[in-house]
């Protein structure tokens, strides 16, 4: 190949000729920040997973809606399944967005979160999606939670627990 052929090939690649493009898709999930107060200090529930692509991750409980399920119903079900706790929604909270690639598809995901309080259940009843579930102090979240989007979300939730509208009874 001479210099002219090499230059044309590089130019074609830059224009996108011969470059595989990823399909794009959107996905939605819902979850919760489950909060309790112990001696006046707020705690939240997180879960640990082991995944090949990510290794060990600590995340908030969340998941994908079933057919005809509302965002609230999804959040309540997923939190119950993944944490073992029965919960009540206190209020709708923030959403986070991120991109990831699965197979040959680039997915834009939005996860809607709700602030929640436990009404029963037990962490020992969590399903197989988490290897471990635990209560942590909000101060531990920045060092334990794996993803920056969730760390920032929990920081905002910490502020919400002190704004006078969140129930503080254990």
Residue 42 inside a domain? The answer is yes
Q: What DSSP string describes 40-56? A: TEEEEEEEEEEETTTEE
Secondary structure (H, E, C), 86-101: EEEEEEEEEEEEEEEE
Total number of domains constituting the chain = 1
67 SS3 class = coil
Predicted confidence at residue 2, as pLDDT, reads: 47
Predicted confidence at residue 96, as pLDDT, reads: 95
160 SS3 class = helix
CATH number for 42 = 3.90.79.10
> Residue 113 phi/psi, 5° resolution?
-115, 150
Q: Which domain holds residue 153?
A: 25-160
Per-10-residue mean pLDDT of the chain, 170 residues long, equals 47 52 94 95 94 84 96 97 96 93 93 97 86 95 95 95 71
Predicted confidence at residue 17, as pLDDT, reads: 53
Residue 16 inside a domain? The answer is no
Q: How much of the chain, in percent, has pLDDT values that exceed 90?
A: 70
Predicted confidence at residue 168, as pLDDT, reads: 63
Residue 64 inside a domain? The answer is yes
Give the Cα-Cα-Cα angle 45, 38, 83 (nearest 5 degrees): 20
Of 151, 129, 156, 130, the residue nearest 140 (C-alpha): 151
Residue 2 inside a domain? The answer is no
């Amino acid at each position: 190949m001479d210099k002219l052929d090499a230059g044309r090939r590089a130019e074609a690649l830059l224009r996108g000729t011969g470059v595989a493009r990823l399909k794009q898709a959107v996905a939605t999930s819902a979850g919760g920040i489950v909060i309790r107060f112990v001696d006046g200090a707020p705690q939240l529930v997180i879960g640990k997973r082991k995944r090949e692509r990510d290794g060990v991750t600590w995340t908030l409980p969340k998941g994908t809606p079933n057919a005809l399920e509302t965002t609230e119903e999804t959040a309540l079900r997923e939190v119950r399944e993944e944490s073992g706790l029965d919960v009540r929604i206190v209020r709708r909270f923030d959403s986070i967005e991120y991109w990831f690639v699965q197979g040959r598809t680039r997915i834009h995901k939005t996860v809607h979160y709700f602030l929640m309080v436990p009404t029963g259940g037990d962490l020992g009843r969590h399903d197989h999606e988490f290897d471990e579930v635990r209560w942590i102090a909000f101060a531990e979240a920045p060092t334990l939670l794996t993803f920056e989007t969730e760390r920032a979300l929990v920081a905002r939730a910490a502020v919400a627990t002190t704004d006078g509208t969140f129930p503080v009874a254990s």
